[in-house]
A = this chain, B = another copy of it.
């Protein structure tokens, strides 16, 4: 089987990571690559680490350029994916790495994104209950946000087992690639090295309703989320420190058991041995997720912490994993299980 894949938005960090993974995919042939302001340039000048694709030239992003492929990955500004998907037709697998089709609640979408809601596609986080089945054979995939990936995998087991109260408090650290390649002063190396700083504080970050949606589904009741993202001096990685008041009757044993069960059959989600904590370096460049959980009996809270690579499991790896499921390929194909460390 040879799957022909196109990538719209190949010059950005998500597109670059996707191409790194697809280069190692035995069933995928890399087709058209497109860009916006970078159209016409050699990929080697934009993504010098992608050696085998150095001589490829970016085409302008347009449905004609993307037609004729089996899979089309979209890394476009929000609000643009629906029109492209429409033109590609129902038989092409469209994997949207943007936010357009993640949220089920139109009001949430409009409040946080300010444009009309385009709809909801099968959600590309196979580890959530029911998600894998919805992806099988699907022609549309909404790849989750990087923070919601880390947070949902960390807290869903507690909510699914009824061990946590429905008010989650989350503080996450992200590497700078999460902010993309946009030229903004606060993203300069001189500014980020040696500094940790918060942004989007107080309930305004766009990933907040997506987390709430996932955790509410796991809990079977609405879960409110207090989310504070912080920018850390590293290129990649998310560490999500998540907590909630422990439900009445929760014990250290019941918490541990719930997580062991939730992670048991997942190829990429690893509950660490007790006493060992996640580190973003351990999952650098890999699709792995490290999780640890503990019950703080004095404070009465469940503390669950996860580490992912925001570009791999948090974006491009999640996209490939979901594509594999949709196409009926082995789920782990082309996805690194080991991090690049130190």
Contact = CB atoms under 8 A, between A and B. Distances in A.
A190 B189 CA distance: 7
Interface string A285-309: 1101010101111111101010100
Interface residues of A, number: 91
A324 interface: no
A52 interface: yes
Given A198-B305, A228-B303, A340-B20, A233 B49 contact: no
A198 B237 contact: no
B183 A183 contact: yes
A252 to B, nearest CB: 9
Contacts of A305: 198, 201, 228
Given A296-B226, A337-B51, A239 B196 contact: yes
B299 A225 contact: yes
Given A190-B181, A193-B176, A232-B173, A299 B226 contact: yes
Interface stretch (A73-81, A94-102, A133-141, A274-282): A274-282
Interface of A: 13, 16, 20, 23, 42, 44-45, 47-52, 54, 167, 169, 171, 173, 175-177, 179, 181, 183-185, 187-199, 201-203, 224-226, 228, 230, 232-237, 239, 241, 243, 245, 270, 272-273, 276-286, 288, 290, 292, 294-301, 303, 305, 307, 337-342
